[in-house]
Structure formats: structure tokens, C-alpha cells
Amino acid sequence: MNAPQLNWLPATDLQRALRDGAISAEELMNACLARVDEVEGQVQAWTYLDKKHALAQARARDLDRAEGRALGPLHGLPIGIKDIFDTCDMPTEDGTVLHAGRTPGYDAKAVAMLRAAGAVIMGKTVTTECANYYPGKTRNPHNPEHTPGGSSSGSAAAVAAGMVPLAIGSQTNGSVIRPAAFCGVYGFKPTHGLIPRSGVLKLSRTLDHVGVFARTIGDTALVAEALVGWDADDPDTRPRAGIPLCEIAAQEPPLEPLFAFVKPPVWDRTESETREAFAELVEELKAHIVEIELPPLTGEALDWHRVIMQADMAFNLEREYEQGRDRLSQPLCEQLEIGRAVTALQYQRALARVPQLVAGFDVMFERCAALITPSAAGTAPPGLDTTGDPSFCTIWTLCGMPALNLPIMQGGNGLPLGVQLVGARDTDAQLLRTANWLVKRLAKD
């Protein structure tokens, strides 16, 4: 293989080459680091990257293979870690000066699972301030004058720019799907509680999800499958049998899927080319899609999400606010202050509505394999003072349903335009399989 191009190969291809000895983990890491040298000055996706340490990990994986030790499913594959996941050998600063120099003595559960699967932790990717809205330094790889989205901005941009084949991030509102859409990669937010969150900056137990970024559906399934599991320190996970995401994602559906095209309550915020693109998509799918109007109650879900998120953030970031509010951004302080004013009645009422909302969507899924809807209002907005509107992801995050960005459309400005697929809770493998069918179906035309 041509080493300078290794960084662009699908992770599934690299996985086989590494296991067969066709390439070494050190060769792959050198290819990724060469790409970092080429584009990082413009993209600025990394907040911590020690090249010597990354190469040392890769050589250790090569030694595992040379000495006949068992190889994990991610053997030798580099992966970027959003800088809100604790890492025992690298700083974890959460995008805020208040945590500058913080070096945990342990790994987040998700990071530990990646290491156990044989992955090489390449470095820490940029997050917005405390995984909220205030932007970090990262720029969109397709046009540095546009935002990459947030809060998992560095993870999405690093994968899109070819610096690393895989990365992980988190979503409390739209922080996986939106940057994946803006950067033109696959972004997968699984069912709530599927991937453990212990050792990750906590904003909201109800809303926080771990998500993944990749450049193919197969790669998405590969890294997500290694992260599914129970964790005694995360009460929303549960003991379960392994989910063969890779195997199921690659299968043909037993029946050709029917999609429900839904316009979210914020449809009026979509750009004209987004509306035109989805009209063309609906026309293209014809017999495989129906348009379903969401009930008026769905519009209130945005307020329920806001109440839960702001109240939980105010609680979980109380120390930062109390002791360091003068070093937090004004937008974050304003959110925390609103959250501190939420009453117990408002909070409990919002929580109580979620199961009703999920039950309403379950009726749709009795007929349809997945909902299809925009990932964002349009392509990545110009400027770096905002990460874009997350509202197109809000309902699906609130409901804890799996969602996947498909980078299959493009705006008139040449930037990616995302399509979001949403499935019923605990149908993650089927959602990936449905997405694979859709991508292949559109590629034939």
C-alpha cells in the first residue's frame, strides 16, 4: 500500500491490513501524522497531540502482533478523543481555562474500552467551552472561514480532514450530528445509555450521549460496536449481550425500508436550498417514503429539552460557576443562570413528558424503518463566532433515540449538507443497516 494515502482508507480496510500484517500500526500512524503536519495549521482540530507518544502506542500494538498476543477489533487504528473524555496519559481540559493542565489518573470508560479493543489514542480533539456553544479554535476543513459545528468540533474536523480515521465525541443537544453534517462525515449518536459515559464531563444525565465519527457506515459500526457495554458507574447503561453492529449494518434489510419524512418544529429555519434538496430526495425515493406531520405537541419538546439541559448544567457546573464565573464566557454564564432559576416543578414536568413523546414516535416506527429529516438548517454558516443551530437534533436527543448523519448532499457553496436518519430506541443496528441501504440506493441513480 502507498503509505502517504493510508490515512484516507476506510478503517475497515485498515483493520484487515493491520491484522494481516500488510501494514504496521506505525506506518499508519506516520501517515496520519504527515496529514496533521499538512493541514492542522489551517483546521486546528487538536488541542493535545504528542507525536512521540502516539508513535510509541502504535509500536506497542505492532509488538502485540509480532509476539502473537490476541488482537482486538480496533487493533492499531488511530482514534481522536474529544477533550471532555478523561485520559490517564494526556490532559483533559474540557475546553475551559478553569481546567487547564488537568491530568486525570484514569481513563473514561469509553477510552478504556477503545484501548482494550486495540485502538491507538492519537490525541485530544478540540471541544467548545465545557461542551456547550462557545466556539473553540477549530475551522471547517472544507472552508476555514466557516464553522465546523460544535461541540465535538475537533473530532468531526479531524476525521473529515483525513488526520484520523475515527473519533469520538458527545451530544447533549446537537453536538455529534451537527458537526458531522457541517464537516461532511458520518456522525452516529446511539440510543441513550448504549455507550458508557463515566469519566466524561457531565452536563445532563438525561441528555448526554457518547457518539462516534467516521467516513463510512462500516467504520461507524466498527467503532460503535467496540464501545457498547455496561458500566457500573453509569446508571443508564445495563448488562446486555453484545450487539453485532458491523454484521447487521452490512446486511440487506429483510424488506425494503419505508422512510417517514418529517419536518421538525423548526422547519421554518431551514435554508431554501435545504428545502429544495429534501424535496428532490423525497421525489427520488418515491415508493420508499411518506411524509408524516409531527403533532403540535412536538414543538413543546424544544422547551422541555431546554429546561432539563439548563437545570442539569447549572447543577453539574456549579463549582465552575461559583468559583470561576469571571473566566467563563458570557453565553455559558447566562445559560447557567437561567438553569439555576428553574423550579423543581418545571424540571419534573419536563422529564415526565419525555416518555409520552417517545411513545408517540414508537407508533410511527411500527410502519417506518426510520425518520428522515435535516441534520441542520443548511450548510455550515460563515464565521467562527457560532457553531450553528442545534435545534434540528434536539427532539431526537431528548427522546434518546439513535440518530445518524449521512454526508450525501452538497450545498450550492460546495459545503456538505447533512441528512439525518432517526430510529426507534434500541434499534441502532437496524438504523445502520437502513442507512447502508439508502446510501447504496442513492448511489445507483
CATH code: domain of residue 122: 3.90.1300.10
The mean per-residue pLDDT over the stretch 255-269 comes to 97
Give pLDDT, residue 408.
97
The mean per-residue pLDDT over the stretch 188-211 comes to 98
pLDDT digits (tens, 9 = 90+) for 302-328: 999 999 999 999 999 999 999 999 999
Under a CB-based contact definition with an 8 Å cutoff, are residues 187 and 213 in contact? yes
Is residue 1 scored above 70 in pLDDT? no
* Distance (Å, whole) CA 214 – CA 235: 28
CB proximity list for 280: less than 8 A, separation 6 or greater: none
Residue 328 inside a domain? The answer is: no
Q: Which domain holds residue 94?
A: 3-249
> Distances in Å between the alpha carbon of 276 and those of 113, 290, 417?
42, 17, 12
Same domain membership, residue 182 and residue 64: yes
pLDDT band at 3 (very low <50, low <70, confident <90, very high): very low
From the candidates 152, 153, 170, 175, give the one annotated as an active-site residue.
175
Same domain membership, residue 291 and residue 220: no
Same domain membership, residue 273 and residue 131: no
Is residue 213 scored above 70 in pLDDT? yes
Cell 493542565 sits at which residue? 101
**What are the counts of helices (DSSP H) followed by strands (DSSP E) for the chain?**
15, 11
Mean pLDDT for all residues in the chain:
97
Same domain membership, residue 360 and residue 244: no
Residue 148 inside a domain? The answer is: yes
Domain count, the chain: 2
186 beta partners: 214
pLDDT digits (tens, 9 = 90+) for 87-117: 999 999 999 999 999 999 999 999 999 999 9
Same domain membership, residue 238 and residue 137: yes
Residue 254 inside a domain? The answer is: no
From the candidates 24, 82, 109, 375, give the one annotated as an active-site residue.
82
Give pLDDT, residue 444.
82
Same domain membership, residue 359 and residue 244: no
Residue 326 inside a domain? The answer is: no
The grid cell for 121 is: 489514542
Q: Is 24 a catalytic residue?
A: no
Cell 472552508 sits at which residue? 143
The mean per-residue pLDDT over the stretch 414-423 comes to 98
Strands 120-125 and 78-82, bridge-based pairing: parallel
* Distance (Å, whole) CA 28 – CA 7: 7
Residue 303 inside a domain? The answer is: no
Same domain membership, residue 159 and residue 66: yes
Give pLDDT, residue 383.
98
Last residue of a domain, one of 185, 220, 249: 249
pLDDT digits (tens, 9 = 90+) for 115-174: 999 999 999 999 999 999 999 999 999 999 999 999 999 999 999 999 999 999 999 999
Is residue 4 scored above 70 in pLDDT? no
Q: Is 375 a catalytic residue?
A: no
The grid cell for 230 is: 455496561
Is residue 297 scored above 90 in pLDDT? no
Q: Is 151 a catalytic residue?
A: yes
Same domain membership, residue 263 and residue 245: no
H or E, element range at 407: strand 403-410
Same domain membership, residue 240 and residue 274: no
Residue 335 inside a domain? The answer is: no
Q: How many CB atoms lie within 10 A of CB 254?
A: 7
From the candidates 151, 152, 153, 155, give the one annotated as an active-site residue.
151
Query: pTM here?
Result: 0.98
Q: How many CB atoms lie within 10 A of CB 368?
A: 23
Give pLDDT, residue 326.
98
* Distance (Å, whole) CA 395 – CA 262: 12
* Distance (Å, whole) CA 387 – CA 269: 15
Is residue 69 scored above 70 in pLDDT? yes
Strands 166-171 and 78-82, bridge-based pairing: parallel
Which among 418, 153, 121 has a CA at the least distance from the CA of 273? 418
- DSSP label at residue 253: P
The mean per-residue pLDDT over the stretch 327-355 comes to 98
Give pLDDT, residue 296.
81
Residue 280 inside a domain? The answer is: yes
Percentage, residues of the chain above pLDDT 70: 99
Last residue of a domain, one of 249, 283, 308: 249
Residue 169 inside a domain? The answer is: yes
